[in-house]
Amino acid sequence: MRNSPAPILVIAATERELATPEGWRTLVCGVGPVDAAGRTAAAIAAERPAAILHVGIAGARVASGLLPPALLIGEAARYCDLEVPESWAPRSVVAPLALLTAARRALPHAPVITIGTSARVGGTIGCDVEAMEGFGVLRAAQLAGVPALEVRAISNHIEEPDRRRWQFDAAFAAITVATPRLVAEFASCIG
């Protein structure tokens, strides 16, 4: 077991969303909030990272005006599948200010928004952008006391049912190009 924290752990649902590591650790957490939370918690216990950057692709509502492959920074992750009072279980994790500031330096033109998490496409409520793992990753990090932030590249409009029209390749390219800049900024603020 490692005694000192690993610098940055970059987590994505799939291998295609991960940039080639340049001194940082990576984790494929799997698709959906349950696998994401479980694998993140296990990695935190094993690696003890100083910070987590959760990256990936996402869908945006047409009304948001966001087009593929726009990058965006998550100021919070909202779990939209949980329908119990907030006093019973949290449904939102807010990004730490230091990581949010670092992400803004790395991606100065990226919108900063709340990203919804749902286990199904179209399952979010009150969010312009949705993905499937963000809340699981950020909540596991929050419970372990590890600062974490989510950054996404838009691949599609949520309302588009034809997945052949989704722009996966452009979104994968956008997020993997942005990752080294994000990690460098994270390292400067935790370092």
The full 3-state SS of 119-138, as one line of letters, equals CCCCCCCCCCEEECCHHHHH
- pLDDT at 8 (0 to 100): 96
Reply yes or no: is the peptide bond before residue 69 cis, omega within 30 of 0.
yes
User: pTM score > 0.75 for this model?
Assistant: yes
Q: At 116, is the pLDDT very low, low, confident or very high (cuts 50, 70, 90)?
A: very high
CA angle 70, 150, 140 (to 5 degrees): 160
Predicted pLDDT at 90 = 87
pLDDT at 82: 84
Residue 127 amino acid letter: C
State percent of the chain over pLDDT 90.
Answer: 82
pLDDT digits (tens, 9 = 90+) for 38-94: 999 999 999 999 999 999 999 999 999 999 999 999 999 999 988 888 889 889 999
pLDDT at 6: 65
Estimate to the nearest angstrom the gap between the alpha carbon of 188 and the chain centroid.
Answer: 20
Q: What's residue 2's pLDDT?
A: 41
